């Protein structure tokens, strides 16, 4: 028997990463191993997690809005942010989601499109994990097609009245602040879809938790019900006009998923290799069968290729050159391959693979959500299709 090497070591991917980014990655990896991995199975089984306690710890670690500058944010590179997502999702996609929604969706929306007052009021507390944010774009009838959303903001004197329902909103029931997207009437001085910063204790706002989920169970998912929520003019995000406002935030979160999904895949594959080495079947180790090795070799290849793609997208983002359709390449490929790796790993574990004693089926179930949120695989195929054919086929 020769010495075994981990799949990503084989690609020497760490050679492509700056030392500063590696240091941040290693700090998140250590935190994940010490504070998250031992507890995540219980959170998953319970269908809940201590979001407030975790937000405070993640804030201390410096990963909330870590790729943003100023307002108490770490100001790390995009690549470091991606690597942090990878380490968190190696524990559970729900934990990466908590961080993605806080930093890339709620904080980024305020950081990029907000007023100075909104930034000062929310960003330092959100970076520290003292305030939790959520991002309400999806509605019951408008997921892939947010352009036709029904939530409306209408003028009432100097105020806005917000009415509608948002669906599948991560962190909704535990949030202190919701960034909510709504249609506005052009006659009322605003243009199309606009974003609003809504403190969740505003009368008329409710966020019932969605239960009975079989995926992303270590994550809070909610409905947002807005019933004539009265907001001052200062609640509108001044710099976001039209659908490009929310879509610009999705770019950030999708980028994190490009790396994050590989974390889930890495955990599945490393767990499976260890299991196969220890499991004896018929008269030898499961890892010593050619059929097992063919599976492991193919998965190693896809994990490494996904990582090279993620690092290339990270490099482009750090250079300010990353286009949305390039993010779609990464989100489509890496989530699709991660779910395929999780399912293949499950076969190698046999019955043991279906339990919470191993992370594999938990990852596989989570990746069903990851495949759907932040743009379904089909939406990303259509984005890539439009980029290479020049023809939009969404409608
Ligand atoms: P389309 O006509 O293509 O574009 C409308 C306007 O938006 C601009 N734009 C973008 N801007 C920034 N980033 C992008 N990625 C952009 N894509 C388009 C575009 O230039 C245009 O601007 P303007 O100024 O000309 O008005 O829009 P469309 O209605 O045809 O839709 C295109 C489509 C289908 C790609 C888009 O609607 C889409 O991406 N749908 C998927 C929705 C989605 O991903 N929702 C995610 C909700 S959040 C979530 O899931 C959180 S999960 C928790 C977690 O992250 O962990
Ligand atoms: P639909 O849009 O109804 O799509 C159904 C199917 O039709 C999919 O296979 C889709 O690919 C396909 N389809 C759609 N359009 C086309 C087309 N043109 N051609 C061919 N096929 C098409 N949203 C938020 O705003 N904030 C959040 O924090 C958030 N968190 C989430 C957390 C979880 C756990 C989940 C599961 C979802 C979350 N979402 C959130 C919602 C998520 O973004 C949507 O579920 C997603 O955008 C897809 O919308 P939908 O579920 O309505 O599916």
Smallest CA separation from ligand 1 atom 40, residue: 144
Tell me the mean pLDDT in the region 42-56: 97
| Nearest-atom index, ligand 2, CA of 374 | 43
Q: Ligand 1: distance of its center to the CA of 172 in Å?
A: 21
Pocket lining for ligand 1, CB < 6 angstroms: 97, 100-101, 135, 137-138, 144-147, 170, 242-244, 247-248, 250-251, 253, 324, 373-375, 379, 383, 394
- Flag whether pLDDT at 33 surpasses 90: yes
Domain 244-389 sits in CATH 1.20.140.10: yes
Residues 336-366: tens digit of each pLDDT: 999 999 999 999 999 999 999 999 999 999 9
Q: Which mutation among 108, 165, 168 tests ligand 2's pocket best, with the greatest number of atoms within 8 A of CB?
A: 168
3-state secondary structure the chain: CCCCCCHHHHCCHHHHCCHHHHHHHHHHHHHHHHHHHHHHHHHHHHCCCCHHHHHHHHHHHCCCCCCCCCCCCCCCCHHHHHHHHHHHHHHCHHHHHHHHHHHHHHHHHHHHHCCHHHHHHHHHHHHCCCCCEEEECCECCECCCHHHCCCEEEEECCEEEEEEEEEEEECHHHCCEEEEEEEECHHHCCCCEEEEEEECCCCCEECCECCCCCCCCCCCEEEEEEEEEEECHHHECCCCCCCHHHHHHHHHHHHHHHHHHHHHHHHHHHHHHHHHHHCEECCEEHHHCHHHHHHHHHHHHHHHHHHHHHHHHHHHHHCCCCCHHHHHHHHHHHHHHHHHHHHHHHHHHHHHHHCCCCCHHHHHHHHHHHHHCCCCHHHHHHHHHHHHHCCCCCC
Q: Which of 140, 186, 244, 370 maximizes ligand 1 atoms within 8 Å of its Cβ, making it the mutation to test the pocket?
A: 244
What distance in angstroms lies between residue 340's CA and the mean position of ligand 2's atoms? 20
Q: Which of 87, 368, 374, 378 is catalytic?
A: 374
Ligand nearest to the CA of 134: 2
Q: What pLDDT, on the 0 to 100 scale, is given for residue 72?
A: 97
Tell me the pLDDT tens digit for each residue of 130-170. Answer: 999 999 999 999 999 999 999 999 999 999 999 999 999 99
For the question of residue 223 being annotated catalytic, the response is: no
Supply the residue whose CA is at minimum distance from atom 43 of ligand 1. 375
pLDDT-derived band at 190 (thresholds 50, 70, 90) equals: low
351 alpha carbon – ligand 1 mean position (Å): 41
pLDDT at position 236 is 98
Ligand nearest to the CA of 217: 2
Q: Where are the domains of the chain?
A: 7-132, 134-235, 244-389
Ligand at minimal distance from the CA of 168 is 2
CATH of domain 134-235: 2.40.110.10
Q: Which fold has domain 7-132?
A: Butyryl-Coa Dehydrogenase, subunit A; domain 1 (1.10.540)
Indicate which atom in ligand 2 lies nearest the CA of residue 170. 28
Task: Ligand 2, residue 369: give the atom nearest the CA.
Answer: 36
List, for residues 289-323, the tens digit of each pLDDT value.
999 999 999 999 999 999 999 999 999 999 999 99
Name the pLDDT band for 191 (thresholds 50, 70, 90): low
- Residue 4 pLDDT grade (very low, low, confident, very high; cuts 50, 70, 90): confident
Residue nearest atom 49 in ligand 2 by C-alpha distance: 143
């Amino acid at each position: 028997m020769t010495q075994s090497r981990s799949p990503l070591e084989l690609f020497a991917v760490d050679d492509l990463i700056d030392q500063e980014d590696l240091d941040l990655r290693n700090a998140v990896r250590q935190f994940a191993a010490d504070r998250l991995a031992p507890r995540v199975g219980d959170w998953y089984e319970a269908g809940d997690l201590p979001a407030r306690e975790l937000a405070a710890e993640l804030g201390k670690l410096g990963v909330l809005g870590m790729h943003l500058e100023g307002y108490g944010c770490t100001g790390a590179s995009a690549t470091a942010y991606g690597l942090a997502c990878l380490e968190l999702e190696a524990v559970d996609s729900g934990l990466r989601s908590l961080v993605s929604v806080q930093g890339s969706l709620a904080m980024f929306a305020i950081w990029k499109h907000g007023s100075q007052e909104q930034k000062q009021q929310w960003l330092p507390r959100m970076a520290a994990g003292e305030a939790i944010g959520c991002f309400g774009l999806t509605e019951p009838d408008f997921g892939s097609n947010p352009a036709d959303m029904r939530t409306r903001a209408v003028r009432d004197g100097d105020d806005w009245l917000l009415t509608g329902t948002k669906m599948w909103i991560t962190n909704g029931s535990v949030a202190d602040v919701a960034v909510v997207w709504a249609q506005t009437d052009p006659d009322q001085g605003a243009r199309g879809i606009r974003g609003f910063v809504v403190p969740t204790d505003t009368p008329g706002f409710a966020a019932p938790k969605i239960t009975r989920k079989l995926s992303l169970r270590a994550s809070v998912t909610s409905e947002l019900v807005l019933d004539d929520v009265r907001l001052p003019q200062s609640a509108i995000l001044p710099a976001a006009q039209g659908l490009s406002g929310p879509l610009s935030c999705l770019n950030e979160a999708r980028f994190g998923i490009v790396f994050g999904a590989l974390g889930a895949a890495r955990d599945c594959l490393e767990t499976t290799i260890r299991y196969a080495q220890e499991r004896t079947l018929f008269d030898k180790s499961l890892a010593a069968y050619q059929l097992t090795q063919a599976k492991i070799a193919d998965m190693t290849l896809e994990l490494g290729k996904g990582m090279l793609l993620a690092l290339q997208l990270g490099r482009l983002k750090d250079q300010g050159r990353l286009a949305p359709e390039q993010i779609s390449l990464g989100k489509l490929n890496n989530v699709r391959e991660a779910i395929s790796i999780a399912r293949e790993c499950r076969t190698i574990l046999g019955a043991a693979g279906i339990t919470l004693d191993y992370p594999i089926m938990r990852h596989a179930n989570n990746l069903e959500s990851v495949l759907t949120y932040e743009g379904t695989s089909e939406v990303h195929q259509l984005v890539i299709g439009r980029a290479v054919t020049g023809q939009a086929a969404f409608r």
